[in-house]
Amino acid sequence: MALRVTDLKRSKLFYERLLGMKVVWEPDPDNVYFSSGTDNLALHQIPQAELAQYRPPRGQLLDHFGVVLDSPEAVDRMFLEVNRELDALGGTLVKPPKRHRDGSYSFYFADPDGNVIQALYEPTISKKT
């Protein structure tokens, strides 16, 4: 996945600290590429020439993206960690932890640009990660 961001430095710190993403390539000051070991994420700075006219959408076309965790306890641990650091890193809590009808368990939070992330335990796939 690749996301355009309004402040690359802030977003880089957010994804490193809250999702544990590791930088695998940073070719220039406007791009950073991460990996979790199984997933990849790219962040691209919105160019200064576009930033002045940039207007975030009122609604997000991408509903959310998720990170799969191995247990409900891992979701709770991540929630505590995210909750401790979220304000300082420019993010927001969207929905607290909840058990879903299918037996999954998750919470939602947003990055500094409003991209929503679901931290998810899903019984049929979590054991495979």
Q: How is the chain split into domains, by residue range?
A: 2-48+63-128
User: What integer is the mean pLDDT of 45-50?
Assistant: 91
CB burial of 76-89 (b: ≥16 within 10 Å; e: otherwise) equals bebbeebeeebeeb
User: What is each CA distance from 56 to 14, 100, 113, in whole angstroms?
Assistant: 19, 30, 8
* pTM for this entry: 0.90
**Fold designation for 2-48+63-128:** 2,3-Dihydroxybiphenyl 1,2-Dioxygenase; domain 1 (3.10.180)
Angle, CA 24 vertex, CA 18 and CA 26 arms, to 5°: 95
Convert the pLDDT of each residue in 58-89 to its tens digit. 666 788 999 999 999 999 999 999 999 999 99
Q: In the block, which residue shows the tokens 């406007």?
A: 30
66 vs 39: CA distance, rounded Å: 11
CA 108 centroid distance within chain: 9
6 vs 84: CA distance, rounded Å: 23
